[in-house]
Amino acid sequence: MLTNMHIAVIGGDARHLEIIRKLIELDSKVSLVGFDLLNSGFIGVERSSVNELKFNEIDAIILPVGGTSLEGEVMTTFSKEKVVLTEEQIKRTPSSCTIYSGISNDYLDSLTKKNNRKLVKLFDRDDVAIYNSIPTVEGTIMVVIQNTDFTIHHSKVAVLGFGRTGMSVARAFQGLGAKVRVGVRRPEHIARIVEMGMDGFYLQDLEKQAQDIDVCINTIPHLIVTSKVISKMQSHAIVVDLASKPGGTDFRYAEKRGIKAILAPSLPGIVAPKTAGTILANVLTELLEKDAEKRKEKE
């Protein structure tokens, strides 16, 4: 249980509704910022603007999956309020206050480090990232279907990256009958890809591989689908970039060349917010309960 813990949920999307539900169920005191347009019927929660939030009473802050922008802005799907997480606010929190986010960036890293607050990046955890890859795959299939006039079956699909998302994407497209090849930089990844019945190639050969592919799905958060790679693609090819913003594609060049390139962030929150929210809520509450136990031991 999370009795006596005061948790602020600052911004977020439909996934956060599952998190809020679970926090209420576990008896924590919940303050919501950025949910004023939501008509959810959550009972016993406090809603306020970010300026009204009593940061000095907060034991944990839950941010959107994407954390903040490089300017500290927090995404609020259920509000028109511009919410910015500032250093002054973080300074007001008790020193034991933990900040939970999906991913981070320089702004959030430096804000928490400078003020000696613990930052937990949920997607650094393999279990969260692997579970999250399930709705990501379904969303990727949706984006490909919506943006092509050919079947996935028998099309040539290149998946770039073979991490927690890339592996799930590659296997799902293979299961749909696509001819999948996966671009990686490690020989052990090539071996695993071959073992799974797909083709593997090294990323330095991407330009050559790009010549005959129909669909390119990138999961590498670095510029990898460069103008040189795009220039080799067939005109009907599409690029679906799953990597976190700004993605790994030269979108400017793709547009100039007439190649459809789509940055597709936050797919789990779009296609399966309930499942994706439950994945996050389960892990978050496990971590918060551990935190609550530690506090009790100290008292």
List interacting residues with ligand NAP (CB under 6 A): 103, 129, 132, 136, 139, 161-166, 185-186, 203, 219-222, 242-244, 264-268
Q: How far is the CB of 122 from ligand NAP (least distance, A)?
A: 11
Q: How far is the CB of 271 from ligand NAP (least distance, A)?
A: 9
φ and ψ of 180, to 5 deg: -100, 135
Q: How far is the CB of 277 from ligand NAP (least distance, A)?
A: 14
By beta-carbon proximity to ligand NAP, the closer residue of 111 and 167 is 167
Rounded to whole angstroms, the Cα distance separating 133 from 266 reads 11
- Beta strand 179-184 with 238-241 is unpaired
By beta-carbon proximity to ligand NAP, the closer residue of 59 and 250 is 250
Which residues 6+ apart lie within 8 Å of 5 measured at CB? 28, 29, 59, 60, 288, 291, 292, 295
Rounded to whole angstroms, the Cα distance separating 226 from 203 reads 12
Tell me which residue of 49, 25, 35 sits closest to 285, measured CA to CA: 25
Q: How far is the CB of 260 from ligand NAP (least distance, A)?
A: 17
Please count the other Cβ atoms lying within 10 Å of the Cβ belonging to residue 210. 22
What is each CA distance from 271 to 4, 14, 112, in whole angstroms?
Answer: 34, 10, 31
Which residues 6+ apart lie within 8 Å of 195 measured at CB? none
Q: How far is the CB of 5 from ligand NAP (least distance, A)?
A: 28
Tell me which residue of 170, 253, 177, 258 sits closest to 216, measured CA to CA: 170
Q: How far is the CB of 66 from ligand NAP (least distance, A)?
A: 9
By beta-carbon proximity to ligand NAP, the closer residue of 24 and 203 is 203
Closest residue (Cβ) to ligand NAP? 163
By beta-carbon proximity to ligand NAP, the closer residue of 23 and 230 is 230
By beta-carbon proximity to ligand NAP, the closer residue of 42 and 202 is 202
By beta-carbon proximity to ligand NAP, the closer residue of 205 and 293 is 205
Q: How far is the CB of 138 from ligand NAP (least distance, A)?
A: 10
By beta-carbon proximity to ligand NAP, the closer residue of 213 and 220 is 220
Read off the DSSP letter of residue 249: B
| DSSP E strands, 146-226 | 156-160, 179-184, 199-202, 215-218
